Chain A
Amino acid sequence: MTNAIQIRDLVKTFGGGRSLFGRKANEVQAVRGISLDLKRGETLGIVGESGSGKSTLARMLVGLEHPTSGTMLIDNKPWADLAASGSRAFGRTIQYVFQDPVASLNPRKTIGDILDVPLRLLCSYDSTKRALRKRELIDAVQMPLDTLERYPHEFSGGQAQRIAIARALAAEASILVLDEPVSALDVSVQAQMLLLLQQLRDDLALSYIFISHDLAVVESISDRVAVMYLGEVVETGPAAKLFANPQHDYTRSLIASAPRLSATDSAA
């Protein structure tokens, strides 16, 4: 059994550099010694509140940040090797879906232009193959074909997120890091998006890291869940078991705070 991602003792510290006059700047430990595994074909949910280091972890996985120490194996390739061979090596192995779909699409480019880039640079397809793949991708995320000629501002949040997913799929990487992919969406769109992600994972044999602050959403799509608190993973386990029987105090307080439809008796 090979792991899609293997993280060992990962640490990321921001700041701490010395200024021109030798004073030490403030140091913030965003991620403190995380070890995690993502199996192939699995969805690993990561939950935690703002400031828990979820997004820093995600950005390191896709090579947007450099870890301070620790090792990562992505698709059995050491992170340092991928980083040394440049952004294209990363893009072919692992892709990232951003939290705010509208902000992650350049407002001055059509969707066709945006999807063209990974197909040209990462897959090196010729123009006929690219045109074909673009139509397939748009179809895979259930959007109409005229999407390709339109600009990002013409789409709602849910539609923009579908386009962002299509772009991540275009690179033909087998691992996707989804950073709060449904947080900005309405509930009905969120449910549709979760269904779409589930279906794509099964059809294309993808592995997901699914980051969210919404416990119920994470539970519905994840096989395993890791709970992050102040830069550390405090608890991991199978989704159903972890939420039914939390071991760590922080996990318990998270579950207690989550609003739910049936808990009205206590509020009345």
Chain B
Amino acid sequence: MTDLTAPVSAPARKRRSNLQLLMANRLAAAGLFIFGFIVILALLAPILPIPNPDITDQPNRLLPPLSEGHLLGTDHLGRDILSRLIWGTQVSLLVGVSATALAAFFGSLIGLVAGYVRGATDSILMRFVDMLMAFPYILLAIAIVAALGPGLLNALYAIALVNIPFFARNIRGVTVSIRNREFVDAARLSGKSHAAVLFTEVLPNVLPVIVITMSTTVGWMILETAGLSFLGLGAQPPTSDLGSMLGQARAQLFTAPHASIIPGVMIFLLVMSINLLGDGVRDVLDPRLRSGTLGRPMPVTKIKRETKPASTIEDAPALFVENLSTGFDTGGSITPAVNEISFRLDKGECLGLIGESGSGKSVTALSLMGLVASPPGIITNGGVYIQGQDVLSLREQDLIALRGARVAYVFQDPLTTLHPLFSVADQIAEAVLAHNPIGKRAARQRAVELMETVGIRDASGRASAYPHELSGGQRQRIGIAMALANDPDIIIADEPTTALDVTVQARILELLQKLRRERGLALLLITHDFGVVAQVCDRVAVMKNGEIVEQGETQTILRAPQHDYTKRLIACVPELGEGHSFLDRVRPLFSEAKA
């Protein structure tokens, strides 16, 4: 809520810490524990009481596990497998992690520069990356090792190089989208050079993606190192490494399977745990997942009412809302967004719900059909009566069936609510079919009719157009056509014209008025614009901080507002023709508030 007087300080929100979020994901927690255990074991290799991994002992070759002195047995040269496993894990981890770091550094650098500079530099760098990608990766790694000579260090270089494209492509994509953000332009205007913008403005915003990509790649890198060592191109004898252990035990696969199974299991555990952990880290760092719980939203908002109101009422209007309260669960306490509001809407009537951002008008609109995302949304009180029937008492399926059929929504930005990959007629037809299985052909026919109803010229020609091919006004008309698909009684329009130009806004408002008159629709119009309310609404309810502070006939409220808040809101609307006198008129309003 933007306060009229002093800037309010945002209340400290209770958020779960990163570690808590990670632990809430059981698979990721398991991954963390397994990975942590392996890392500690590998780090402690020099001080653990295990025999030297490189000492051969031919008489005791290929001892089975649990032999005396050799917990996991010995390999074909009589070396202790447990000792080689721990030392080998250390080597594999070291190579995997440093290869990841190398690939991340160079790949991110290429991606950042290519994404920021664009143009020819972008083309040249990305074609180089494409060239690397065009080779099968293992073939390329083999070629590099063949050229440089076998050895762990060369294998590391090869694997790092092979993985550069993966980082470069990812980071370039993110950089391109961040580069076009306004704060980058703003930093340029503040006098920063391109290099400074790239490394001090863009990089901090790309960093989480780099970290996530790294966490998901480490496991893959360890696997690739093992692959090269298995082929004899990585670690050279007698150094142990998981891949070379596997490779050397291959000959005895049938006589002594434990010599190859044990390093195999280790690779599996290591890669698996890193991938699980990496997935978990990604979820934790994703800001969308952070703000709420990691669960999926439920189909209907959670309803937890203290007292249950009567499930039906007599002589009801089209829509009657009584003492409706909705809140958000913010870890322990419930922050109310809508508080005990009541209003009615008759057939053919238009009620305007007006308020500033944060006043709870959109939450009200979504609460009516249980559409508030839950968690964290909870309906805590009240009833919503449609034709006298409380919809919040209905079973979940019945409530879902009402949506779109009796009550339909029109949203602010049709470009985000329409699916970009389906033609508009298909989307309207889908809305028809959702409630009325009349067959595909008939539904499409109906879609074209609806498009004509909402005033789209050449409807049959435009039917196969995609949303991006239509103008903003036409898209909103499609949005209205979808709302009309099942002849609803009530349309809830949430800021339907806010994203449109004034000339287009005037046309859309005319259309809504016409539909209301012809079809007897009840219209609940949510807006922040008094001009729009004055033009279309019969009655208006003014919302502030989740409460309705005043409601009544539009004319009465606009001419003689009773509540101070309404008075002030109306006073703050500049009128065309008023000119500079507007500022003189509102100045006292704010100087009083400060005094």
The smallest beta-carbon distance between B201 and chain A, in angstroms, is: 6
B residues 187-234 touching A (CB-CB < 8 Å): 187-193, 201, 204-205
CB distance from B414 to the nearest CB of A (A): 14
- B562 on interface, CB distance cutoff 8 Å: no
Select B583's contact among A109, A154, A221, beta carbons within 8 Å: A221
A193-219: CB near B (< 8 Å → 1, else 0) gives 011001000000000000001111101
A107-B356 in contact (CB<8A): no
Extra inter-chain contacts (13) besides given A220-B583, A259-B509, A259-B531, CB under 8 Å = A64-B189, A103-B182, A106-B187, A121-B192, A122-B190, A155-B7, A186-B528, A187-B356, A188-B2, A191-B586, A239-B579, A259-B534, A261-B530
Distance to closest chain A CB from B197 (angstroms): 9
Nearest Cβ on chain B to A113's Cβ, whole angstroms? 9
CB-CB < 8 A to A2: which residues of B?
Answer: none
Q: What's the least CB distance linking B351 to chain A, in Å?
A: 15
Do B190 and A261 touch (CB < 8 A)? no
Q: Are A87 and B193 in contact (CB under 8 A)?
A: yes
A117 to B583, CA, bound (A): 33
CB pair A254 B502 closer than 8 Å: yes
User: For the complex, what is the distance from the CA of A267 to the CA of B555, rounded to whole Å?
Assistant: 12
Contact B193 A215 (CB under 8 A): no
Contact A243–B2 (Cβ < 8 Å): no
* Binary contact track B6-25/A, C-beta < 8 Å → 1, others 0: 01101000000000000000
- Establish whether residues A260 and B531, one from each chain, have CB atoms under 8 Å apart when the complex forms: yes
Contact between chains at B534 and A267 (CB < 8 Å): yes
Chain A residues at the B interface, C-beta cutoff of 8 Å: 49-50, 59, 62-64, 86-88, 90-92, 95-96, 98-100, 103-109, 114, 117-118, 121-122, 143-144, 154-159, 164, 167, 170-171, 185-192, 194-195, 198, 213-217, 219-221, 239-240, 243-244, 253-264, 267
Q: Are B502 and A213 in contact (CB under 8 A)?
A: yes
B501 touches A50 (CB 8 A): yes
Does B33 touch A at the CB level, under 8 Å? no
Q: How far is the CB of B404 from chain A (nearest CB, A)?
A: 28
Complex Cα spacing A262 to B569, Å: 15
A125, chain B: closest CB distance, angstroms: 12
Distance A143 CA – B6 CA, assembled complex (angstroms): 9
Kindly report which residue of chain A lies nearest to residue B197, judged by CB atoms.
Answer: A87
Residue B577, interface by CB 8 Å: yes
Chain B residues near A262 (CB, 8 Å)?
A: 534, 575
Q: Is B357 an interface residue (CB 8 A)?
A: yes
- In the complex the two chains form, what is the Cα distance from A122 to B529 in whole Å? 40
- A186 vs B527: C-alpha distance when bound (angstroms): 11
Q: B262 at the A/B interface (Cβ < 8 Å)?
A: no
Cβ 8 A contact of A254, one of B2, B503, B513: B503
List of A residues within 8 angstroms of B37 by Cβ: none
The answer for the CA separation of A260 and B506 in the assembled complex, in Å, is 11
How many angstroms between the C-alpha atoms of A118 and B196 in the bound complex? 13
Cβ B186 vs Cβ A264 within 8 A: no
Q: B143: shortest Cβ distance to chain A, in Å? A: 30
Contact B574 A217 (CB under 8 A): yes
Q: Which residues of A contact B358 (CB under 8 A)?
A: 156
What B residues does A253 contact at CB under 8 A?
503
Residues B192 and A87 in contact, CB atoms below 8 Å apart: yes
A260 to B505, CA, bound (A): 13
- Return the contact of A50 from the options B472, B529, B531, B570 (Cβ within 8 A): B472
Q: Cβ of B47: which chain A residues have Cβ within 8 Å of it?
A: none
Is B44 part of the binding interface, using a Cβ–Cβ cutoff of 8 Å? no
Query: What chain A residues lie within 8 Å of B579 (beta carbons)?
Result: 219-220, 239-240, 243
Q: In whole Å, how far is A5's beta carbon from the nearest beta carbon of chain B?
A: 16
Q: What B residues does A190 contact at CB under 8 A? A: 572
Q: How far is the CB of A48 from chain B (nearest CB, A)?
A: 9
Does B166 count as interface, using CB distance less than 8 angstroms? no
Output the residue of B558, B573, B578 with the most chain A CB within 10 A. B573
B587 on the A face (CB < 8 A): yes
Please give, as numbers and ranges, the residues of chain A lying within 8 Å of B536 by CB-CB distance: 267
Task: List, in ascending order, chain A residues with CB within 8 A of B578's CB.
Answer: 216, 219-220
In the bound complex, do residue A117 and residue B187 qualify as a contact, i.e. CB atoms below 8 Å apart? yes
CB pair B502 A98 closer than 8 Å: no
Q: Is B563 an interface residue (CB 8 A)?
A: no
B185 close to A (CB within 8 Å): yes
Chain B 501-516: CB-based contact to A (< 8 A → 1; otherwise 0)? 1110110010001000
Q: In the complex, which of the residues A98, A108, A143, A243 contacts B186, with contact meaning CB atoms closer than 8 Å?
A: A98
Which residues of the partner chain B approach A114 to less than 8 Å between Cβ atoms? 190
B1: chain A residues at CB < 8 Å are 156
Min Cβ gap B22→A in Å is 21
User: CB of B152 within 8 A of chain A?
Assistant: no
Q: Do B201 and A106 touch (CB < 8 A)?
A: yes
Closest to B573 in A: A187
User: B182 to A157, Cβ gap below 8 A?
Assistant: no
B535, A263: Cβ atoms under 8 Å? yes
Residues of the A chain whose Cβ atoms lie less than 8 Å from the Cβ of B2: 156-158, 185-186, 188-189
Among A63, A100, A258, the residue within 8 A (CB) of B576 is: A258
